[in-house]
Homo-oligomer: A and B are copies of this chain.
Amino acid sequence: MSQKVTLKQLAQILNVTPATISKALRDSNDISIETRKKVKALAAKMGYRPNIMARSLVSKRTFMLGVIVPNLQISFFSECVRGIYERVRRYGYEAIIMVNDENAENERKNLEFLSSLAVDGILIDAVPGNANHGILKDTQKMGIPFVSYDRSLDTLGFNSVTIDDEHAAVIVIEKLVADEKKRILYLGPTSGISVLKNRYAGYQKGLDENGLAFDPDLVIPCEIDQINAYNSIKEFIKKNIPFDAVMCVGGMIAYGAGKAILDAGYDIPNDIAITEFGDNDIVARLGVPFLTVYQYPYKIGSMAVDMMVGLIDNPAKHKKPVHKIIKSKLIYHDIGIKRKL
């Protein structure tokens, strides 16, 4: 055993044709039971591993699902991925995980690779913007089905699994108001992907429903990036505009913002409360309590897989896109409270 074992080699040893081996291994009743036994025994002994590429070339199925995820550092995403690959395996597929790092160029390469690999379907949490809409559309037309998770891609007509962002944002505001907060900052992009738009809409709706006036000065656009969030808040604090809470669109931003607030000497959450979406581990690094929207990422992932498998098995469903929305849950993290006996 010093190079890869092939069907042909097994065939030669047993004095039959490769076809016989192939059929024997797949338990075709074209082949006698005894021959099957012999073949399987030899295959096991020689450590035979079928070549997926050769198989897929003819069978037109790879039983691989492409997964594109923004990054693996944010626990929300890694939980999604876990939901995906655990579920995928149950269906007899394998997940090919690719990271776009919130970068359209990377995502394009991911898509090109996955379509070159001829995966049976792609689960995607796409970057903001429409830079890749062309490739996405093309890839879909080539017969590769898509399901978008977390962030929906309505304009492309993909099936999707998302959360109730707008409603969740409203609930967050409600809770902040109940905590006597009155001047709530919104930190993050306000447009682009659906998630952002919905959260921003929820922010406005929440203010309205709770008798607070919308103040454009309290909306701070910033990129989805720690450093950028840090600097944005730092600059804002310099303006001396009073505020008592920051609603952040995600964990990275919440961490950067929280750090800036702490560095400025404020108390979280007494002076300024912070909230985020995703219940991300990284926010805990601040060591202060925070409010978060838990989005059941594992469930998002596994449901996206269910949807995809349905799509593959019954492409007719592709006609009308299906959108699943998962209900989120508000959580208050009491981190940093020292306990004593």
Contacts and interface: CB of A to CB of B under 8 A. Distances in A.
A8 interface: no
A73 B118 CA distance: 28
Contacts of A316: none
Given A73-B78, A78-B72, A78-B78, A52 B340 contact: no
Contact of A82 (B53, B73, B281, B336): B73
A216 interface: no
Nearest to A99: B85
B75 A73 contact: yes
A281 B72 CA distance: 13
Nearest to A142: B4
Interface of A: 1-5, 47, 49-54, 56-57, 62, 71-73, 75, 78-79, 81-82, 85, 89, 94, 96-99, 109, 112-113, 115-118, 138, 141-143, 262, 265-267, 281-282, 284-288, 333-341
Given A4-B143, A53-B62, A265-B341, 18 more contacts: A2-B142, A47-B138, A49-B116, A50-B116, A51-B118, A52-B53, A53-B54, A53-B56, A53-B117, A54-B57, A57-B57, A73-B75, A89-B109, A266-B341, A267-B338, A282-B284, A284-B287, A288-B336
